[in-house]
Amino acid sequence: MQTPLPRVLLGPGPSSISPKVQEALSRAPIGYLDPELFEITDRIRARLRTVFGTQNAFTIPLTGTGMAGMECCFANVIEPADKVLVGIHGFFGHRMAEITRRLGAEVITVEAEWGEVLEPAAIAKALDAAGKVKLVACVHAETSTGICQPLEEIAKLAREHGALFLVDTVTSLGGMPVEVDRLGIDISYSATQKCIGAPSGISPITVSERAWAVRQQRRAPVEWYFDWVLLKDYYDAPHTYHHTVPANLLYALDAALEEIEEEGLEDRWRRHVAVSTLLREQLKELGIKAFGRAEHRLPTLNAFYVPDAVDNEANVRARLLQDYGIEIGGGLGKLKGKIWRIGTMGSSATPRNVLLLSAALRTVLN
């Protein structure tokens, strides 16, 4: 069998991992109650508080991918018949609404066109009409469109209406500011395989005291695996066995967070801005138009219209992968076949990768 080319991961995730993170992954595992493991998880939790911009005590590396984080965060605060407002401006907003419905909530949705952002006025109107809403939720960085949702106004509205505010930061955490405490976000989940620079399999989550109190007051039980109270008893004293945490993924996350600390969070955000700017400039030179309004584009993932001259966009992606080892993403849902999604996240966010991609695209498109 032919050895596949090493991959340059410029899709919507996962992103590439650094040699240091890869080395950490290959260390020998240790047990789930080993005191060294709790030294590692305590360090991870402290560093996650820094990237989330929070002092929240309950900030943990939940086992599972970003979807586990999504399920877990809704499941702890939502009980059947609760009213939940979900703002939808892309594919992942729809997933939030679906999960919330499955929990038996009464879901009110406010939608924006894919490629646009949610308007606070529309959310205010829906909140005024709905009566008591327990939770307002939306996606910060919509991976399906490359669009960043401003959060400040929505956070304020949620607070004014006595609702918790839950935000998906899967494609933003570690690559751009996520200011949980300053904005008043009560609950957030992310994933490690994007801007954090670790493999997939861990979902960092953070929970405010307000949200914790709502969890404590609920009557219906929470799905066992995701119950915050049981998870707290594992990560904090008395360290009661809950499940066998994946030590190697935690080593890798610890190493990735150390790299973030060494680079400096603000320098890292600036690198993501610089590399995504270079990407847009390079693709513009090839006549490839960026999707969405300039002021709303993410520094972590950008969407581009597939040029009219391309009959089969999947062939272009297949050739990039086969001939050059470069992965980019296609469109999701209603944007399938219409856009390409190019991530410049974590260790993948380098000028070298962008220049490789633009040179490869130039060849493939000719």
Q: Which residues are annotated as a binding site?
A: 341
Question: For residues 205 and 60, is the Cβ–Cβ distance under 8 A?
Answer: yes
Q: Tell me the torsion sign for CA atoms 293, 294, 295, 298.
A: positive
- For 312, counting Cβ atoms within 10 Å of its Cβ (0-12 exposed, 13-18 middle, 19+ buried), the class is exposed
Residue from 66, 120, 299, 330 touching ligand PLP (CB under 6 A): that is 66
Tell me if the bond preceding 204 is cis, omega within 30° of 0: no
Cα–Cα–Cα angle for 24, 28, 29, nearest 5°?
Answer: 95
Q: Give residues with Cβ within 8 angstroms of 135, minimum separation 6.
A: 74, 77, 78, 82, 84, 85, 163, 164, 165, 166
Q: Give the pairing of strands 164-168 and 301-305.
A: unpaired
Among 75, 99, 135, 170, binds ligand PLP (CB under 6 A): 170
- Closest separation in Å from C-beta 97 to ligand PLP: 13
Cα separation, 319 vs 352, in Å, equals: 19
Report in angstroms how near the CB of residue 165 gets to ligand PLP at its nearest.
16
Q: Which of 67, 124, 321, 365 binds ligand PLP (CB under 6 A)?
A: 67
What x-and-dash track marks residues 326-365 binding ligand PLP by CB under 6 A? ----------------------------------------
Quick one: tokens of 366? 């000719």
Q: Is 114 in the site for ligand PLP (CB under 6 A)?
A: no
Which residues participate in the annotated binding site for substrate?
Answer: 341
Among 71, 82, 168, 327, binds ligand PLP (CB under 6 A): 168
**Which residue stretch of 63-71, 74-82, 128-136, 321-329 sits at the interface with ligand PLP (rule: CB under 6 A)?**
63-71
Tell me whether residue 171 or residue 188 sits nearer to ligand PLP (CB atom). 171
User: Angle at CA 113, nearest 5°, toward 142 and 105?
Assistant: 70
Using a 10 angstrom Cβ sphere, with 0-12 exposed, 13-18 middle and 19 or more buried, the burial of residue 132 is exposed
Residue numbers 122-151 binding ligand PLP by CB under 6 A: 139, 143
**Alpha-carbon distance 266 to 271, whole Å?**
9
Which residue lies nearer to ligand PLP by CB, 64 or 360?
64
CB of 144 to ligand PLP, least distance (A): 7
Closest separation between CB of residue 200 and ligand PLP, Å? 5
Residue 191 is a binding residue for ligand PLP (CB under 6 A):
yes
Strand 164-168 and strand 187-189: pairing? parallel
Q: Is 174 in the site for ligand PLP (CB under 6 A)?
A: no
Q: Does 188 bind ligand PLP (CB under 6 A)?
A: no
Residue number closest to ligand PLP, CB atom:
66
Build a one-symbol-per-residue string for 84-113: x at contacts with ligand PLP by CB under 6 A, - elsewhere: --------x---------------------
Binding residues vs ligand PLP (CB under 6 A): 12-13, 65-67, 70, 92, 139, 143, 168, 170-171, 191, 200
